[in-house]
Amino acid sequence: MLGPVILAASRSDRMRRLISAAPVTKQVVDRFIPGETVDDILPVVKELTGKGLEMTLDVVGEDITTPGQAAAARDAYLELIDRLEPLELGTRAEMSVKLSMFGQALPGGHDLALANVRPVVEAAAEIGTTVTLDAEDHTTLDSMFAIHEELRKDFPQTGCVIQSYLYRTEQDARRLAANGSRVRLVKGAYKEPAEVAYQQKHEIDKAYVRILRTLMEGEGYPMIGSHDPRLITIAQELARRAGRKPGEYEFQMLYGIRSDEHLRLAAEGHRMRVYTAYGTDWYGYFMRRLAEKPANLRFFVRSMVSK
């Protein structure tokens, strides 16, 4: 019940100002977003990759309002890639990007986002790594898939995300599985209406399994973006049935969520990638993490009250 309310608040400027200014917010935010700058995040990259984990790095930010902000987002990723180069991690540290941060919602936004994201994908390729395009709300997806297709002409390793809560996704998965894409499957984190998305958890989970089967049986590289223990077990069984070995698919989880499970899967020989967000514009990302689990909200409220 609380989830939709928190997701609505994630789009409210007033709530953004209130919550961002609260003095204790930072302690709670740190659990999910371990830093604001490249200097903060590089030690985290070294620590996690040193433990045998892989990473996908997200400079937080979305829904920007000027082309200048979109260019700044591009430059933030270029700086990150520059600083990753000497670590020689290759695909063990890749990038995740939200096209809204690259200007997708501005006038002429499709072309602007493509123009801003291309240099990031090029720079990533130069240091031997890849970029994955995150999935945002359903109105942005046709543009995201078109940009993905365009980038793959020169950089076939560019990945994208699909969301099992959307009715359209089974069809998207069939197309992407046939053309050999790297695809991260997630349940979906936005507030979507019943016209386009399943609303019940059991329906979203069942769709997740159907879509994952399509990806596992296809030509691409499936990336299982979930913390759900049942789906992790099912994914391993679907991989086995499709004749895929560990390394021919990977697990992905968010920084700060089920961290023991990250290490357990890696120790079992799986590729385990930790999605790690950093930066100053953390509000939207943080609120979606609160919405996913009411216990996070209780923890947040308790820390505010106990101050």
Task: Return all residues near 261 (Cβ < 8 A) that are at least 6 apart.
Answer: 227, 229, 232, 253
Residues 263, 134, 90, CA angle at the centre, nearest 5°? 55
Asked if residue 168 binds ligand FDA (CB under 6 A), the reply is no
Catalytic status, residue 142: no
Q: Could you say which DSSP state residue 107 is in?
A: T
Tell me: does residue 275 bind ligand FDA (CB under 6 A). yes
Written as six digits, the tokens of 19 are: 């919550």
Stretch that binds ligand FDA, among 13-21, 81-89, 222-230, 277-285 (CB under 6 A): 222-230
> Which lies closer to ligand FDA via its Cβ, residue 67 or residue 167?
167
Q: Give the residue from 279, 248, 267 showing the smallest Cα distance to 96.
A: 279
Q: Is residue 184 annotated as part of the catalytic site, yes or no?
A: yes
Q: Is 135 in the site for ligand FDA (CB under 6 A)?
A: yes
Q: Does 159 bind ligand FDA (CB under 6 A)?
A: no
Say whether residue 7 binds ligand FDA (CB under 6 A).
Answer: no
User: Tokens at residue 249, please?
Assistant: 């698919």
Candidate residues 74, 213, 262, 289; the one interacting with ligand FDA per rule CB under 6 A: 289
Whole-angstrom Cα distance, residue 163 to residue 254? 16
Figure out which of the listed residues 59, 93, 189, 232 binds ligand FDA, where binding follows CB under 6 A.
189
Examine residue 112 and tell whether it contacts ligand FDA (CB under 6 A): no
> Residue for token digits 């943080």?
286
When asked if residue 161 is in the footprint of ligand FDA (CB under 6 A), the reply is yes
- From residue 255 to residue 274, the character string flagging contacts with ligand FDA as x (rule: CB under 6 A) and all else as - is --xx----------------
H or E element, residue 265: helix 259-267
Interatomic CA distance for residues 10 and 51, integer angstroms: 33
100, 226, 236, 276: which one contacts ligand FDA (CB under 6 A)? 226
Neighbouring-strand partners of residue 163:
186
Active site residues: 134, 184
